[in-house]
Amino acid sequence: MSSTCFKTIYRNAVAEIVIEKSRFISSIVKVNTEEDVFEFFALIRKKYFDATHNCTAFILKSGTMRSSDDGEPSGTAGRPMLEYLKKNEVYNVAVVVTRFFGGIKLGTGGLVRAYSAAVNDVLKKAGTVEYTLHKSYILALEYTNWKRVENHLNSNLICFEKPEFLQDIQVKVYVKNENTFFQEINDLCNGLVLIERSEDKFIEILLSKPSE
């Protein structure tokens, strides 16, 4: 994973599957810190206090990751859940798969497949996005140049915030290729534009839409 780009889920989600009469309820959320993770785990354990197992996994973009089988045979639940998150290269996520035992034992291989399938289903419901670090600049330009600049930003899918209409127009933009951008904006404004550096920001780009 690059320090300027990472993938995560689009939204929090819950999914449920039934395998050999056992219910598997998978819950996934975005997190930023280990504190967020453990608060989420505690919430799910409280919600499903009567479940047979609440197996967990999380992975942060810092590289911190852990999992728990919560009473299932070692390596059959938490580890495959974590491996599925790693395989899909999603970060800053925490997932709990809650199992209500249906009376039929699945065996080691069956458990691995069941918990992997539960994470697969909830990831599809959550969707995925990519966060890419963009450099930020504030443009100050004359009113007569704004429409051309606005059209250029929209047609090139350049992210920008709502402009401020003052003595001139000021708008904050987020760009990846700054050298090309500077040249294009100067050309559009005939050089009559001030460009000031601002703080960087991770911009969200949708990769896969959440399923219903």
The tens place of each residue's pLDDT in the chain, 212 residues long, gives 667 889 999 999 999 999 999 999 999 999 999 999 999 999 999 999 999 999 999 999 999 999 999 999 999 999 999 999 999 999 999 999 999 999 999 999 999 999 999 999 999 999 999 999 899 999 999 999 999 999 999 998 899 999 999 999 999 999 987 878 999 999 999 999 999 999 988 888 888 889 87
pTM tops 0.85, yes or no: no
Q: What is the rounded CA–CA span in Å between residue 201 and residue 4?
A: 10
Decide: helix, strand or coil at residue 109. Answer: helix
Kindly give the interhelix angle for 178-188 and 143-155, rounded to the nearest 10 degrees: 140
Contact yes or no for 28/43 (Cβ under 8 A)? no
Q: Are 91 and 6 in contact (CB under 8 A)?
A: yes
CA-CA distance, 78 to 105, in Å (whole number)? Answer: 18
Ramachandran angles phi, psi of 108, nearest 5°: -60, -50
What is the DSSP secondary structure assignment for residue 201, as one 8-state letter? Answer: E
Write the DSSP symbol of residue 10: S
Are the C-beta atoms of residues 13 and 210 closer than 8 Å to each other?
yes
Q: Which of 180, 176, 175, 167 has its CA nearest to residue 141? A: 167
